C-alpha cells in the first residue's frame, strides 16, 4: 500500500532531482572558478612568505659574516702584535 502512495509522488520528485543536479553542477562550476582566482592569490602569498624567509636568512647571514669578520680582524691584530714581539726578540731589542 505504501508503494502505491510513493508512485504518486515520483512525477513531483523528478523535476526536483533535475533541479538539485543543476544546482550541484552550478555550485561546482562556481567553486572551480573561485579556486582558479584564489590560486593566484595563494601563489602571491607563497612568494611573499618565501621573500620574508629569504630576508630573514640574509639578515642572519649578514650578522654571522659581521661577527666572523670582527673575529678575524682581532685574530690578525693579535698575530701582528705577536709577530712584532718575536721580531724584536730575535733582534735583541727587548
Res 72: pLDDT? 98
Gap between the Cα atoms of 17 and 8, Å rounded: 16
Gap between the Cα atoms of 27 and 5, Å rounded: 33
Query: Which has more pLDDT, 12 or 23?
Result: 23
Pair 94, 85: CB distance under 8 Å: yes
Grid coordinates representing 61 are 647571514
What is the total residue count of the chain? 94
Gap between the Cα atoms of 90 and 82, Å rounded: 12
pLDDT at residue 47 tops 80? yes
Res 13: pLDDT? 79
pTM above 0.75? no
pLDDT at residue 9 tops 80? no
Res 81: pLDDT? 97
Amino acid at each position: 500500500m505504501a508503494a502505491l502512495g510513493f508512485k504518486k509522488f515520483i512525477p513531483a520528485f523528478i523535476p526536483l532531482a533535475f533541479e538539485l543536479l543543476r544546482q550541484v553542477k552550478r555550485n561546482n562550476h562556481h567553486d572551480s572558478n573561485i579556486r582558479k582566482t584564489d590560486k593566484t592569490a595563494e601563489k602571491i602569498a607563497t612568494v611573499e612568505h618565501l621573500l620574508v624567509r629569504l630576508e630573514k636568512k640574509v639578515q642572519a647571514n649578514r650578522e654571522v659574516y659581521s661577527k666572523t669578520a670582527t673575529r678575524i680582524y682581532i685574530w690578525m691584530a693579535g698575530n701582528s702584535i705577536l709577530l712584532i714581539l718575536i721580531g724584536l726578540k730575535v733582534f735583541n731589542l727587548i
